[in-house]
């Protein structure tokens, strides 16, 4: 099912490039991305191996007279823990109009991948949202925005919604660097705006 959802997303993305990411058990997550018809300017990323803080170089995006967003960002994670662990890394992904989040295995006490929008006046341009069950324990969430959305914060909203989170201030992931690369560390409360 993951393959068919991604194939359809690639078909409907328009002329913009796509960024397909995977994290967690490489045998299952990378397998979900194999065999897809990709264009030369599409990017496949192993989020576990991508250095923290390094920007993602996507051809035909972000340069002079080029769009600032991609047509599709897909993140395939083996578990919610894997998705949470790479939350800092995905903040460097470009904005997108179509976000697909796949979690292959979720604990039974967590809800579906229904995002909790960041604020009352944000996400007013959300055009469509689809949430689908993936087997017995997985979920797929698709978000469509006609004018783009920042990928990292949108993914954070999806994660926040799995625990029944509410709108408003919430903990934001911190980066911890150890050795040559870094990974997401603890959490800190966002300061009040103003």
Region 15-30: what's the mean pLDDT?
90
Residue 43 has pLDDT above 90, yes or no: yes
Q: Which residues pair with 131 in a beta bridge?
A: 141
pLDDT value of residue 45: 93
- 155: closest CA among 109, 67, 110, 93? 93
Number of domains in the chain: 1
182 against 55, higher pLDDT: 55
Q: For residue 55, name the pLDDT band (cuts at 50, 70, 90).
A: confident
Q: For residue 188, name the pLDDT band (cuts at 50, 70, 90).
A: very low
183 against 156, higher pLDDT: 156
Task: For residue 78, tell me if it sits in a domain.
Answer: yes
Domain of 152, in residue numbers: 2-189
Task: For residue 32, tell me if it sits in a domain.
Answer: yes
Number of CB atoms found within 10 A of residue 64's CB: 4
pLDDT value of residue 23: 95
Q: For residue 194, name the pLDDT band (cuts at 50, 70, 90).
A: very low
Task: For residue 194, tell me if it sits in a domain.
Answer: no
pLDDT value of residue 28: 80
Residue 181 has pLDDT above 70, yes or no: no
Region 85-94: what's the mean pLDDT?
90
Task: For residue 135, tell me if it sits in a domain.
Answer: yes
Task: For residue 69, tell me if it sits in a domain.
Answer: yes
* Secondary structure (DSSP) of 128-167: EEEEEEETTTEEEEEEEEEEEE-HHHHHHHHHHHHTT--S
């Amino acid at each position: 099912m993951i393959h068919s959802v991604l194939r359809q997303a690639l078909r409907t993305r328009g002329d913009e490039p796509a960024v397909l990411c995977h994290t967690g058990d490489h045998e299952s997550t990378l397998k979900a991305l194999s065999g897809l018809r990709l264009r030369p300017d599409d990017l496949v990323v192993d989020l576990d191996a991508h250095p923290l803080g390094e920007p993602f170089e996507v051809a035909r995006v972000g340069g002079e007279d080029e769009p600032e967003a991609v047509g599709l960002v897909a993140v395939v994670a083996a578990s919610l823990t894997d998705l949470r662990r790479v939350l800092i890394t995905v903040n460097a992904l470009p904005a997108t109009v179509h976000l697909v989040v796949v979690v292959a295995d979720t604990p039974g006490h967590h809800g579906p991948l229904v995002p909790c929008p960041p604020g009352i006046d944000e996400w007013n341009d959300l055009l469509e949202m689809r949430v689908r069950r993936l087997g017995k324990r997985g979920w797929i969430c698709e978000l469509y925005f006609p004018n783009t959305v920042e990928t990292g914060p949108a993914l954070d909203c999806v994660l926040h919604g799995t625990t029944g989170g509410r709108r408003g201030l919430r903990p934001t992931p911190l980066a911890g660097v150890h050795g040559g690369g870094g990974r997401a560390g603890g959490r800190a409360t966002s300061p009040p705006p103003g």
